[in-house]
Structure 1
Amino acid sequence: MDVQAVADELGDALKTIDGLTVPEWGVQRVSPPFALIPLPDGDGITYDMTYGRGGDRIGDWPVLVLIDRPARPESRRAIAAYAAGSGSKSVKQAIEDHTYTALDTVRVTSCEFDVVTYAGTDYLAAMFHLDISGKGA
């Protein structure tokens, strides 16, 4: 799998959520709410899951959605909409319903919450964990 191509397509899926921005990785000036797509966590990429170069797997690729003013009630309501299993703001639905060319399957397996600092500002964050598989290239 081409990690950059997968990240780009995940960003395209997230951009289908009205009002959610997806800045390029490393950009310091952001406009919340926004999503970040870092590199895979855990064991990274597992190559050659089948014979030859038949398939690769990323067992834990995090995707974050960040909301400003983490202690405000409206921020909690907003992050809850992104964490919902379905609906117009659902990250799970946007990612799983998207059509991909850089990967074969993607499943949002879990979501956790925290307050994180990005570019010197605190945000309420939802971290989604993705399980991705695709053709070896």
Structure 2
Amino acid sequence: MKTFKLENEPKIETGFKTPDHYFENFSIKMMEQLPKNEPKVISIFQKRKTLIIAAAAVLVLALMIPILSPSSTDKKELDATALENYITYQSNVNQYDLINVLETEDINNIKTGIVLEDETIEDHLSVNSNLENLILE
């Protein structure tokens, strides 16, 4: 391989040349080309007022959301059927657990005077196929 010496190789001209006295008159020519009218000045305080008004509007809207939206946290009363179905289908709850949880007031509320005729009881027992289970309970 030949040794490459940068100083001995012919140099390529760049092709770009600046005209004579270009930088001496550059600032004068540039100032002549600029527009004469002054730019419009926008005050910072005017933008600040609109920002404050916008922030206040957002704050008011954020505070009004809980008031205007319908609340879904209303307590709903449990109906007796839903409660009975829940207790029936929960395998870990038995009658002894319910007896331990009941208070005397609840027991007194349960003791209502239900008058059943003999015919009603006979009809129920004749239709019910789990007669043995009822006798064992």
TM-score interval, normalised by the smaller of the two chains: under 0.3
**Structure number with bigger Rg:** 2
Larger helix fraction of residues: 2
Larger strand fraction of residues: 1
TM-score (ref. length: structure 1)? 0.17
Higher RCO by CA contacts (8 Å cutoff, separation 6 or greater): 1
TM-score (ref. length: structure 2)? 0.17
